[in-house]
Chains A and B, each alone.
Chain A
């Protein structure tokens, strides 16, 4: 009697497990960040705009956990207060682009043929245009502030979602259940909104999550360049930019703290989105 075991590949086994540690960790981090963005302004230890010239550019201490900036404002308070704007921008961008992208994708996949081919090319071209450039242009034309970059990035991010959702919708469109729905006399609008949408929604959601990470970075970058929201409002990209002058004086805490929040958020949402889409792939 012989026993033979094909040695398990560690990666394969881990992928099979139901919920792995990393997914749990990033999901927790992401929800914590969202809660922070909503409740942040109420949790600040100091009013975020309160200056204290005598305590300017201090390192971390018991009074100021993350230190203070050049005007003596508490960095932790500014981070918490800034979270809302830092999330609201990309949140809006993703909400708009995911909704529009999914709608365009399903509509295009449903009609197929030349229209779908044309739409595919348009999305390809849009995809090739760097988002940050369009946002800078928009700010130049409409003036800096919150809305110009949000509007520009909302459009730029449409293909991020639409391309992936379109290919999923094309796959769905070819399944016989869609034809069975047609035969049952359902109108295309109903088939698209009730059946196809329901089946591509998880993919759209996963793609939206990943797009959120990129949008947050782009939005922060616009603020960093001074074309987004303006001081004295606090926002993470703005804080990184503000902190630049202090860097030379050896006080890096402001740029570091805000930069770290951006990186943490981007990484967490990216990993979460990737995990979610992988789970969808495995379930079907």
Chain B
């Protein structure tokens, strides 16, 4: 499936679609004709509310779900398009929302990272241990955390470990699925800053899935806004947030609580 033609983009998504068959025999279109490009080292935000299809899109790109339509090109290779699931590529890694479920509860932190390193790289035992320490330092954790079990770490520390695990595989694309949403505000800022720093240090591209426009603004130059499985607006994050052209995007921006903000009631809402 390898095409040698050098694609200018790291990731090209074309007409991606995903339809779930519901138990009643009805179809649910979760993702509908989604297309976008992502350059190497760039950071793209996917913004939307629950049911917008943003997470499903991310999971298809990660290889955790298969698409029912469209194609995905990654680094010049065509990843599984419609009807075919694929084994995941090391170059695409993902950080999940839930800091409590994203680590094996019975595996110590260092052992977990060493296992990942052992899968993909040839390291001597001591080099592997050194790399683990280096990775933990990179995400702001010390050697004292290396031999802890996840349950002895706080939510923020666990999320740092999840990021370190993703970085261990030296991916080109990191998908962050609401990666800071479950954290307390004061900790959220730490993880956000860590993600910003990692981007400055490395060439990793981000696909940043979030419902939080303020967070997306800090991390992503470009964003797409999704609603009911479709892209309703795409462009520079600043433009989208400051001058939304789409009615739904405007609604989204207006709903952010800020000084002088008054909650608004839509007329005859269906709920």
Query: Contact residues of A with B, CB < 8 Å?
Result: 175-177, 179-186, 194-195, 198-199, 284
The reply on B140 being an interface residue by CB < 8 A is no
Q: A184 contacts which of B98, B101, B107, B116 (Cβ < 8 Å)?
A: B116
Determine whether the beta carbon of A183 is less than 8 Å from that of B62.
yes
Asked if A284 contacts B105 (CB within 8 A), the reply is yes
Selected interface stretch from B88-96, B240-248, B253-261:
B88-96
- B101:A183 contact, CB within 8 angstroms: no
Q: Interface range on chain B: under 10, 10 to 19, 20 to 34, or 35 or more?
A: 20 to 34
Give the residues in chain A near B103, CB-CB below 8 Å: 177
Q: Does B218 contact A (CB under 8 A)?
A: no
Q: Known: A176-B101, A198-B106. Contact between A182 and B96, CB under 8 A? A: no
Q: Which residues of B contact A182 (CB under 8 A)?
A: 63-64, 88
Known A-B contacts A183-B62, A184-B169; the reply to A198 vs B104 at CB < 8 A is: yes
CA A284 to CA B104, docked complex, whole Å: 12
* A184 close to B105 (CB less than 8 A): no
Q: Which residues of B contact A (CB under 8 A)?
A: 62-64, 87-90, 92-94, 96-98, 101-107, 115-116, 119-120, 162, 165-166, 169
| Contacts beyond the supplied A180-B166, A198-B104: 9 A-B pairs with Cβ under 8 Å | A179-B96, A180-B94, A180-B165, A181-B104, A183-B93, A184-B169, A185-B88, A185-B120, A195-B104
Residues of A within 8 A of B63 (CB): 182-183
**Assembly CA distance A179 to B107 (angstroms):** 15
Using A183-B64, A185-B120 as known contacts, say yes or no to A199 and B105 having CB atoms under 8 A apart: yes
A177 touches B101 (CB 8 A): yes
CB of A168 to closest CB in B, whole Å: 12
Q: How far is the CB of A276 from chain B (nearest CB, A)?
A: 16
Which residues in B have their C-beta under 8 angstroms from that of A198? 104, 106-107
A64 to chain B, nearest CB (A): 51
Residues of the A chain whose Cβ atoms lie less than 8 Å from the Cβ of B96 = 176, 179-180
Please list 15 pairs of residues, one from A and one from B, whose beta carbons are closer than 8 Å in the complex, sorted by A's number: A175-B101, A175-B102, A176-B96, A176-B98, A177-B102, A177-B103, A180-B96, A180-B162, A182-B63, A183-B93, A184-B88, A185-B87, A185-B88, A198-B106, A199-B104
**Which residues on the B side are within 8 Å of A199 (C-beta)?**
104-106
Contacts of A186 in B (CB 8 A): 119
Which residues of A lie under 8 Å from residue B116 when comparing CB positions?
A: 184
Q: Is the CB of A179 within 8 A of B119?
A: no
Contacts of B94 in A (CB 8 A): 179-180, 183
Structural contact, A184 and B102, CB atoms closer than 8 A: no
Are B88 and A183 in contact, with the CB atoms below 8 A? yes
Chain B neighbourhood of A177, CB < 8 A: 101-104
Question: Chain B: which residue is nearest A182 at the CB level?
Answer: B88
Give every chain A residue within 8 A of B115 (Cβ-Cβ). 194
